[in-house]
Amino acid sequence: MKTRIGIVGVSGYGGSELLRLCIGHPSFEVVYASGESTVGQTLAQRFPALAGQPTGKIVIESFVPERLAGIDLLFASLPTGKSAAALAKVPASTRIVDVGGDHRYAPGWVYGLTELPGQRERIATTTRLANPGCYPAAALLALAPLVKEGLVESEGIAIDAKSGVTGTGRGGASDFGYAETNEDLFAYGLGGHPHVPEINRTLADLGGSKASVAFTPHLVPMTRGILATCYARPRGKFDTAKLYAAAEAMYAGEPFVKIVATEKGRGPHTKWASGSNLIFISYAVNADTGLVVAVAAIDNLGKGAAGQAVQNANLMTGQAETAGLSGLPLWP
C-alpha cells in the first residue's frame, strides 16, 4: 500500500515541485492538497498536464488540520511565518516535512540536511522534520567538510549566493515581473537575511566553535538554480587536493552529492542540477590570497526544497532514500 501524501501550499513553486515529485514517486500517492490562492480549483486546472488523471480530480482546499485523517505524511510549503500556526494542530500521528522556514532548529523538530554527520539517523526516527533553507542547503554542504576538518576558520566566511527567481516564492512574483527581472541582477539582504542563523548554528555544531558568515544573496534572471560561492580563510597551508579529500571522505557513497573537479577553471553549473536533487561542489585555493573558495550548485526547488523534502520523507517512511529522485536533470 502506498504512503498517503498531503501537500500544503500546492499553488506555490515549492508545492508544485513537491506535487511533481510525489506523482513520479513509486510509493507515494497524493490524496490531499491545499492552497489558499487556488481553493476550489482541481489540480488539473492548476496543472494542465494532470488532465484526465485521477490525481487531477483532487480539489484544492483551504487548509484545515482536522481534514487530515488518513494522511501518512504532510509536506508543507508555506511562506515563512505561516507554517508554525498552521501546523500546530496537525495530529501527532501524521508525519510532517516542513519546507518552510518556521521550524528550523525549533524544539521537537529535526533539521533535515540529510548528508550532515549523524543527521540521517535522526531523520529516520522523527515525525517532525524541518527542511533546510535553499541557500543553506547549498552553502552548508560545500562548507561542512572544511569546517568539520578544521581546514578553515569558521568565523568571517563570506557566502556570496545567487538564486533564480523561484527562490523568492510565488507570493513575491508581483515584485519580479519578467520585464524588470530579465537582464537584471542585484544583491539583496545587505541588512541581514533569515537564513543566516541556521547557517551559523550548523557550522558551529560541525566545527565545535563559534561560526559567523557574511551572507549576501543575489537575484539572477533565471527560474531555477542556486550557486553559492564561499570564501573562507585557511587554517594552515595546504593545496586544493586537501579540500577535495575532505569532501570525498565526508560524502563517500552519497547518492546526491557530486564532488567535481574544475574544468578550464570552471566550477559546477546550476543547469547540471535542474529538476533533480543533486548538488555539485568544487573547491579551489585562490592563488593570489590563499583564501579557500568552495562553490556549490543546486536546483533551489530540488536539493533546495522539494527534492530534499522527498529525500527526508523517504527516510521517515522507510523507503529507499533515492525513491522518486533518480530522474536525470533536464538539459538543456
Which of residues 8, 99, 123, 295 is near a copy of itself by CB under 8 A?
A: 295
Any catalytic annotation for residue 230? Answer: no
2 to 21, contacts with a copy of itself by CB under 8 A? 13, 16, 19-20
- Cell digits for 33? 492538497
Enumerate the β-bridge partners of residue 216: 160
Residue 49 interacts with a copy of itself (CB under 8 A)?
Answer: yes
CA distance 10 to 48: 14
Q: Does 155 bind a copy of itself (CB under 8 A)?
A: yes
Q: Tell whether residue 110 is a contact of a copy of itself (CB under 8 A).
A: no
Q: How far is the CB of 238 from a copy of itself (least distance, A)?
A: 16
Q: Does 249 bind a copy of itself (CB under 8 A)?
A: no
Tell me the per-residue interface mask from 214 to 243 with a copy of itself, x by CB under 8 A, - otherwise: xxx-x-xxxxxx-x-x-x-x----------
DSSP 216-264: EEEE-SSSS-EEEEEEE-BSS---HHHHHHHHHHHHTT-SSEEE---BT
User: Is there a contact between 71 and 49 (Cβ–Cβ < 8 Å)?
Assistant: no
* Other C-beta atoms lying within 10 Å of the C-beta of residue 117: 12
| Residues 70-89 close enough to bind a copy of itself by CB under 8 A | none
Q: Please provide the DSSP assignment of 116-130 as one string.
A: STTHHHHHHT-SEEE
Examine residue 309 and tell whether it contacts a copy of itself (CB under 8 A). Answer: no
Give the residue, chosen from 176, 201, 238, 323, that forms a contact with a copy of itself under the rule CB under 8 A: 176
- Residue 15 CB contacts under 8 Å (≥ 6 apart), including other chains: 7, 8, 9, 33, 35, 75, 77
Give yes or no for residue 127 binding a copy of itself (CB under 8 A). Answer: no
Binding mask of the shown chain, residues 257 to 286, with x at each position contacting a copy of itself by CB under 8 A: -x-x-x-xxxxxxxxxxxxx-x-x-x-x-x
Active-site choice (86, 134, 165, 293): 134
Among 74, 146, 196, 310, binds a copy of itself (CB under 8 A): 196
147 φ, ψ (degrees, to nearest 5): -75, -40
Residues forming the active site: 134
